[in-house]
């Protein structure tokens, strides 16, 4: 326990002082006697029972996870392709409306 002092405590050989604080055991704390409680006072816990792993359940869960990830990737790619085609249609319609013939660029 650390106690603050108004003035530095002189070294009595029992407590250590650091920057105006007396560091040491508290005189108010009760003495600790003994270590742990006897085994008879401890509550009894039920034994740990480990369930056996079901390989079929593990494989189903793993394959379902792979399937979900693959579906998410396919959905994202589809959305990206649809967005790019939509942008291309808007740009080509805008250029056609403005009277720009884009085919002249490809014909050379």
Instruction: State the pLDDT at residue 102.
Output: 81
Domain boundaries of the chain, sorted by first residue: 72-108
pTM of this prediction exceeds 0.85 = no
Output helix, strand, coil percentages for the chain, rounded to the nearest 5: 50, 10, 45
Buried b (16+ CB within 10 A) or exposed e, 9-34: beeeeeeeeeeeebeeeeeeeeeeee
Q: Where is 106: in which H helix or E strand?
A: helix 103-107
**Residues making up the chain, counted from first to last:** 108
Which of the pair, 13 or 94, is modelled with greater confidence? Answer: 94
């Amino acid at each position: 326990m650390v106690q603050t002092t108004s003035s530095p405590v002189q070294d009595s050989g029992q407590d250590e002082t650091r920057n105006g604080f007396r560091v040491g055991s508290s005189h108010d704390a009760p003495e600790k006697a003994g270590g742990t409680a006897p085994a008879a006072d401890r509550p009894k816990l039920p034994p740990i029972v480990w369930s056996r792993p079901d390989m079929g359940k593990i494989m189903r869960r793993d394959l379902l996870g792979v399937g979900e990830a693959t579906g998410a990737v396919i959905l994202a790619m589809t959305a990206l392709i649809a967005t790019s085609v939509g942008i291309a249609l808007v740009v080509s319609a805008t250029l056609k409306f403005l009277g720009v013939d884009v085919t002249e660029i490809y014909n050379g």
